[in-house]
Amino acid sequence: MFHPRRTLRALLLPLAAGLTLLALPAPPADAASTLTNGGFEADGTGTATPAGWSSYSASGQTSASFTESGGHGGSHRLTHWASTAYKVETYQYLSGLTNGTYTLTAWVRSGGGQNAAYLALRNCGSAEQRTDLPISSSDWIRVVTSVKVTSGQCTISVNSDANAGNWINVDDLTFAPGSTGTSVHGADISSLAKSEAKGGVYRTASGTAGDAVTILRDAGMNYARLKVWVDPADGYNTRTQVLALAKRIKAAGMKLLVDFHYSDTWADPGKQTKPAAWANHSYSRLKTDVYSHTYDVLNALKAQGTTADMVQVGNEINGGMLWSEGSTSNFSQLAGLLNSGYDAAKAVSSATRVALHLADAGDDGTVRWWFDNATTYGVKYDVIGLSYYGYWHGSLAAAQATLDDTASRYGKPVFVAETAYPFRLDSDDALTNQIDTTGELVAGYPATVTGQTRWMNDVASIVEAVPGGRGLGVFSWEATWTAVTGNGWDPADATSGNGWENQALFGYDDRALASMAWFRHR
């Protein structure tokens, strides 16, 4: 990914924050073993304590919880709102459960601004599980939370610790056997080798200098993504650096995704320039080039004991790759090139999963068009990756709809191959950042460490909610690209700056940011 400055398109509204725990009174004696009135349809409008549910507020503000018209699936929903600051919990205690793993599913909306707004599963015999409510003032978003029941009981709760006028809507809750979670909590760290070579330093949160790979691993990262260029002007992001970084990644116990751009520089929807060495090759020769280059890098990784776990054949290939021969205007030829990459990856290791990667997870129509063509032309792949930047690619609800539809329509696992969010707006070098004004932000997600953390967690939550367990996880882009002289965006210009340092996971003081906590997402 590297995009020029863009015009902001869709905005979300303010974020639910915090994790304040509200104490509960003793559970009622007549608890059921199945969730009652999960759609809040039993009582109509204006009921403070819906049938089957209880309300609690340490400060006596139970009236901040009520039912009203305008449901997700039916006619009514649960709302938390008050004209003054409030803390309220709406909960239902279940007993007589068969021990095992259960999943709570709910449709939610939130205007944001709360100190805390979340769903929780507690008193279940295992650790409490929570999911914050993402911000969406108009569209409903589905969230899931799973827990292991070991005591035959569980409390399902909807929580708000809110300021005056803050609101949430919750509807269509279900609680059934099943588990959720994401297996990929990753980051692209392609910038790291050049950064270190140019004097870049990485520190723990307390300020101790250390190895960035280890710092990220200790924060919970379990998957690293590295891009590969063919013959870049600066000599970085080549096989040499990938091999060296792969040793460190695997030694840290993490998995490896290799992202082939098939270019000497950035490949994305706006440019897919052939490597200079391949510029005059025929289509037939280009297929051989793709196979040979892919095989060469992956086989070298295997030979040193660091076999790639996943491979991207192309980067943000909405318009194809290796233009013009591999343009989507000639999908049959694009299919041949993609299959060359697939075949090379599988020839090295049949266990390596091959991903195809598009930009703009908010555009379901384009993703459908592209993968329908891939099906028509017999393109081989195992996994689908989508870039999703909320300040460019639309709402969380739109991204969720695309991820859900893509996983269902093509029967493949999906993941967010790239996302990021700024923790501040000013620059740490002379180059203006790509996102540098409040008007460019996703509304409700401030350019703070807290806002960055919430964004990453909310993106992970919509991936976790992909039905059928097909949501693999998320990669943060580009976690280690701090402002280091000589490590700018243009490999052909040593003086070019970095427009992305405010979206890294290390601060301007080189310390690990608290937003790395998102790696611990369920």
Residues carrying an active site annotation: 316, 418
Answer yes or no: are the C-beta atoms of 326 and 320 closer than 8 Å.
yes
Burial of residue 3, with CB atoms counted within 10 A of its CB: 0-12 exposed, 13-18 middle, 19 or more buried: middle
Name 320's bridge partners: 327
Nearest to 382 by CA among 418, 358, 403, 413: 413
| Sequence-distant contacts of 65-72: CB under 8 A, at least 24 apart | 65/89, 65/90, 65/158, 65/160, 67/40, 67/43, 69/45, 70/169, 71/39, 71/40, 71/41, 71/171, 71/172, 72/107, 72/140, 72/169, 72/171, 72/172
The separation between CA 365 and the C-alpha centre of its own chain, rounded to angstroms, equals 20
Three-state secondary-structure class, residue 506:
strand
Side chain identity at residue 116, one-letter code = A
Q: In what order do the strands lie in the sheet with 65-69?
A: 65-69, 76-81, 167-177, 100-110, 136-149
Side chain identity at residue 384, one-letter code = I
Q: How far apart are CA 256 and CA 309, in angstroms?
A: 5
Instruction: Let me know how long the chain is.
Output: 522
